[in-house]
């Protein structure tokens, strides 16, 4: 009878049995042998390197390697004649940790019989504190096999035994590290990985070991060098599969039909250029020429336009939309909030002037209709907008998620522009793109959050990327300072004085808070008291805003500061006498619009707002911004927010108010933001502090990230090499017909995530 052979696609129930397979699926979602073997060890112990027990913290779930020091049992009076407590002290030869067991009868004491002083074991549990001593209560444990008999213990074998690398796996209460170790051992010996998915020429060029060798070595490394080679190869697997899938996406998109929208001489686009009151930057001209060429192609443009706040992305988008209108099509601009959609509508119609008055008296010869559709548009106005969109009278349609509704039908949707695209889910973006009849529309996605090259190669790997690096003339410098309100309250007093000084000179200010203030359930809130996936959730104490100075007690939790509370305190205290107004997502849309109009007109001195003003708000006279509880915002969000000031002739001032302790990571993050205005440098810092799965977008799609080893910043060069090789291979073999093992590996690695990649 032939021995059983295990494959990566085999269900775990076959080699493991239903009980263990069910436990592994419940704990980690594992279903196949490949899922188990991609559950890589978190770290490795050697027998000569015991766990540093002094580093353990209360509440941590730990797996430690230590030596049994002593074992004792003690009766427990009042709990029954047979009740006893077992105490086992383990040590790393520097510190000690108590293991506590409770027994109802002498028979139950078998659980500690194997804990013999001098033996090594791995112990797992949650660290608790009892009378000032750290302990594990009823920990799970696994004793390590002893050394071979002395007669067999040669010097070489003794050295190998002492340096053996013991894997420690990410574990849970349902599946300990050694349960996973035994499961891996069961499938690893009879494993047949099949054909290597990375072609031989790529493996040779990049000095990669074979796949089978890498899988075995990461679970059973002979030494650190063996482990290093295995990790390098398996990182290549992840990068190469991802880049191959994205290369296929790019080729598939290029093969789809799209209506060419070439530039029309003497049309509305030319008239718009002639009306511009300023000269385009060299970067805007170059990117504009690229987009002009893309739109003229018979396959859909799929381009990402990134640039710093105020770099002029909107002008480029307008010129692209007008080119499509000249060619007989329509353009839709999708914005994440009503405030931003209304801001776009006002700024675009103002820039177009009579060119936006299509169908009206006094319109320019080539004028088109520009319309706005949001959830708050009344029934009669909504019917008129829908009719203009359906007939094509509206050449440019600006809106929020309302554009995605089924009733919105375009006559000829030729271009979709998505602003601040990270605010939209995959399905939402796809829904708007699907509204083009017949041919696919061209797509331009924009972001003011600079994207590191490594993210552009992964998250946006199926997009062509254009970057604006220079700011238009007239933009002023922004000075940023950290205001440590807890340890230096007089700094915050000075901050409010600076706001008053700016207002006294005829300028305006923002005060930004993390929360609206009324957390009533079911409230319709654009900002939803939500700082986004990159926002830390830190609590530094109760706050007393008396006199406008928050005071905290480190360690006690409190709610983030709110617009409603802060506005009231400022109006009665440090900013008394100034014209204050509030802005947040729960206000009625008409009210929000009126507040923004009043602020833009200079009728409001200080606007106290949530992050609803984060993007798109352009008030050149606003020169100061105070961000309360700044440590609660992410790096990119802080950079976006401060981009709202310094947009005119006067320099900007951004003050980051925090109660974070001086040496804390939160304070260091704020110091880094204050030290530079380089968004690309900050984006790398942001990426370092965020979970890989969030960055890769899997969380947004509702799926778990399947990239286990690849790290976007440390592995940037590797990802670039994988992209180069994958693009070359897929260009020559788009459907991977000659590389079936690669095609299978992509499906195994990404599973449902491949569907996500198909929709981005």
Answer yes or no: is pLDDT of 294 > 80: yes
Question: Shortest CA distance to 302 belongs to which of 239, 370, 255?
Answer: 255
- The predicted-structure confidence for 716-745, as pLDDT tens digits, reads as follows 899 999 999 999 999 999 999 999 999 988
Nearest-angstrom CA–CA distance, 403 and 16: 51
DSSP 175: B
Highest mean pLDDT among 5-19, 402-416, 492-506, 543-557: 492-506
Least confident of 176-190, 436-450, 513-527: 513-527
Highest mean pLDDT among 306-315, 340-349, 465-474, 598-607: 598-607
- The predicted-structure confidence for 591-620, as pLDDT tens digits, reads as follows 888 998 999 999 999 999 998 887 667 889
Decide which of 431 and 312 is more confident. Answer: 312
pLDDT confidence band for 337 (50 / 70 / 90): confident
Q: Name, in order, each residue with C-beta under 8 angstroms of 200's C-beta and a sequence gap of 6 or more.
A: none
Other beta carbons less than 10 A from residue 150's beta carbon:
7
pLDDT number for residue 531: 45
Backbone angles phi, psi at 309, to 5 degrees: -55, 125
pLDDT confidence band for 401 (50 / 70 / 90): confident
To which H or E segment does residue 565 belong?
helix 563-572
Domain boundaries defined on the chain: 1-42+171-185, 51-168, 268-468, 478-676
- The predicted-structure confidence for 413-434, as pLDDT tens digits, reads as follows 999 999 875 556 556 656 777 7
Highest mean pLDDT among 42-46, 117-121, 415-419, 626-630: 626-630
pLDDT number for residue 214: 97
pLDDT number for residue 32: 92
| pLDDT above 90: percentage of residues in the chain | 44
Answer yes or no: is pLDDT of 540 > 90: no
Backbone angles phi, psi at 214, to 5 degrees: -65, -45
Decide which of 682 and 434 is more confident. Answer: 682
pTM, two decimal places? 0.71
177 within 8 A of 171, measured Cβ to Cβ = yes
CATH topology of domain 478-676: Rossmann fold (3.40.50)
Going by their DSSP bridges, the two strands 652-658 and 622-627 should be labelled as parallel
Least confident of 211-215, 423-427, 621-625, 646-650: 423-427
Least confident of 54-58, 128-132, 703-707: 703-707
pLDDT confidence band for 155 (50 / 70 / 90): low
Other beta carbons less than 10 A from residue 25's beta carbon:
17
Decide which of 76 and 78 is more confident. Answer: 76
pLDDT number for residue 711: 85
**Alpha helices (H) in 601-715, listed in sequence order:** 635-642, 665-675, 679-688, 692-695, 698-701
pLDDT number for residue 422: 56
Nearest-angstrom CA–CA distance, 483 and 673: 13
Residue 49 CA to its chain's centroid (Å) = 36
Nearest-angstrom CA–CA distance, 175 and 28: 9
Q: Name, in order, each residue with C-beta under 8 angstroms of 686's C-beta and a sequence gap of 6 or more.
A: 534, 634, 635, 636
pLDDT number for residue 542: 35
3-state secondary structure of 158: helix
Other beta carbons less than 10 A from residue 334's beta carbon:
27
Three-class SS of 349-418: HHHHHHHHECCCCCCCCCCCEEEEECCCCCHHHHHHHHHHHHHCCEEEEEECHHHHCCCCCCCCEEEEEE
Write down the architecture of domain 51-168 according to CATH: Beta Barrel (2.40)
pLDDT number for residue 146: 66
Nearest-angstrom CA–CA distance, 329 and 351: 20
Least confident of 199-203, 639-643, 652-656, 682-686: 682-686
| pLDDT above 70: percentage of residues in the chain | 83
pLDDT confidence band for 538 (50 / 70 / 90): very low
pLDDT confidence band for 140 (50 / 70 / 90): confident
pLDDT number for residue 537: 39
pLDDT number for residue 547: 41
194 within 8 A of 64, measured Cβ to Cβ = no
Nearest-angstrom CA–CA distance, 197 and 238: 11
749 within 8 A of 239, measured Cβ to Cβ = no
pLDDT number for residue 420: 72
Domains 51-168 and 268-468 share a fold: no
Answer yes or no: is pLDDT of 673 > 50: yes
Mean pLDDT of the chain: 83
Tokens of 12: 């775990």
To which H or E segment does residue 20 belong?
helix 18-28
Decide which of 145 and 148 is more confident. Answer: 145
pLDDT confidence band for 448 (50 / 70 / 90): confident
Answer yes or no: is pLDDT of 374 > 60: yes
309 within 8 A of 679, measured Cβ to Cβ = yes
Write down the architecture of domain 268-468 according to CATH: 3-Layer(aba) Sandwich (3.40)
Least confident of 10-14, 330-334, 624-628, 696-700: 696-700
pLDDT confidence band for 110 (50 / 70 / 90): confident
pLDDT confidence band for 210 (50 / 70 / 90): very high
């Amino acid at each position: 009878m032939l021995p059983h052979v295990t494959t990566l696609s085999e269900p775990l129930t076959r080699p493991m049995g239903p009980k263990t397979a069910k436990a592994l699926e419940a704990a980690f979602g594992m279903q196949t042998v490949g899922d188990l073997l991609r559950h890589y060890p978190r770290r490795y112990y050697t027998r000569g390197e015991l766990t540093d027990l002094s580093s353990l913290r209360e509440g941590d779930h730990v797996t430690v390697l230590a030596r049994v020091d002593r074992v004792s049992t003690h009766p427990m009076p009042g709990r029954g004649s047979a009740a006893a407590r077992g105490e086992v002290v383990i040590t790393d030869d520097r510190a000690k940790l108590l293991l506590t067991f409770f027994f109802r009868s002498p028979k139950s004491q078998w659980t500690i019989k194997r804990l013999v002083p001098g033996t090594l074991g791995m112990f797992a549990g949650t660290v608790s504190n009892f009378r000032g001593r750290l302990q594990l209560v009823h920990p799970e444990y696994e004793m390590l096999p002893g050394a071979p008999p002395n007669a067999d213990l040669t010097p070489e074998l003794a050295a190998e035994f002492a340096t053996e690398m013991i894997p420690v796996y990410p574990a849970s209460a349902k599946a300990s590290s050694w349960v996973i170790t035994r499961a891996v051992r069961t499938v690893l010996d009879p494993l047949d990985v099949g054909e290597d998915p990375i072609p031989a020429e790529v493996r040779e060029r990049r000095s990669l070991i074979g796949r089978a060798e890498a899988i075995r070595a990461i679970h059973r490394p002979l030494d650190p060098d063996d482990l290093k080679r295995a990790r390098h190869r398996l990182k290549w697997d992840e990068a190469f599969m991802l880049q191959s899938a994205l290369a296929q996406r790019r080729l598939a998109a290029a093969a789809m039909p799209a209506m060419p929208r070439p530039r029309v001489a003497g049309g509305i686009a030319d008239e718009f250029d002639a009306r511009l009151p300023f000269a385009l930057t060299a970067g805007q001209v170059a990117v504009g020429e690229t987009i002009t060429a893309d739109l003229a192609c018979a396959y859909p443009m799929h381009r990402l336009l990134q640039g710093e706040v105020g770099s002029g992305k909107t002008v480029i988008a307008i010129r692209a939309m007008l080119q499509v209108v000249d060619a007989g099509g329509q353009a839709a601009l999708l914005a994440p909030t009503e405030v931003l959609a209304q801001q776009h509508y006002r700024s675009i119609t103002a820039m177009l002037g009579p060119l936006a008055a299509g169908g009206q008296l006094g319109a320019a010869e080539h004028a088109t209709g520009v319309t706005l559709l949001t959830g708050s548009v009344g029934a009669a106005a909504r019917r008129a907008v829908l009719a203009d969109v359906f007939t094509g009278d509206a050449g440019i349609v600006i809106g929020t998620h309302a554009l995605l509704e089924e009733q919105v039908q375009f006559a000829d949707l030729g271009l979709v522009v998505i602003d601040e695209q990270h605010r939209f889910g995959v399905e939402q973006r796809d829904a708007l793109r699907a509204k083009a009849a017949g041919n696919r529309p061209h797509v331009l996605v924009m972001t003011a959050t600079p994207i590191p090259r490594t993210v552009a190669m992964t998250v946006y790997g199926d997009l062509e990327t254009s970057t604006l690096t220079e700011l238009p003339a007239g933009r002023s410098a922004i000075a940023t300072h950290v205001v440590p309100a807890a340890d230096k309250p007089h700094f915050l007093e000075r901050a409010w004085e600076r706001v008053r000084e700016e207002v006294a000179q005829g300028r305006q200010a923002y005060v930004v808070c993390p929360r609206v203030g009324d957390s009533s359930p079911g409230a319709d809130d654009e900002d939803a008291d939500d700082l986004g996936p990159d926002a830390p959730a830190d609590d530094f104490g109760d706050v007393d805003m008396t006199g406008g100075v928050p005071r905290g007690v480190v360690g006690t939790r409190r709610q983030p500061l709110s617009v409603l509370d802060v506005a009231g305190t400022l109006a009665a205290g440090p900013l008394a006498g100034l014209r204050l107004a509030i802005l947040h997502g729960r206000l009625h849309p008409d009210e929000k619009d009126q507040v923004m109009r009043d602020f833009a007109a200079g009728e409001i001195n200080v606007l106290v707002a949530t992050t609803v003003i984060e993007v798109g708000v352009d008030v050149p006279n606003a020169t100061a911004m105070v961000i309360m509880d700044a440590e609660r915002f992410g790096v990119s969000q802080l950079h976006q927010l401060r981009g709202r000031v310094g947009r005119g002739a006067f320099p900007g001032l951004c003050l980051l108010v925090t109660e974070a302790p001086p040496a804390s990571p939160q304070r260091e993050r704020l110091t880094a933001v204050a030290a530079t205005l380089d968004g690309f440098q900050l984006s790398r810092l942001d990426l370092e502090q965020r979970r890989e799965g969030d960055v890769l977008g899997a969380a947004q799609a509702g799926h778990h990230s399947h990239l286990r080893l690849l790290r976007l910043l440390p592995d940037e060069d590797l990802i670039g090499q994988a992209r180069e090789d994958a693009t070359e291979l897929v260009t020559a073999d788009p459907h991977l017909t000659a590389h079936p093992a690669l095609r299978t590996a992509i499906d195994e690695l990404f599973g449902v995530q491949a569907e996500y990649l198909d929709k981005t």
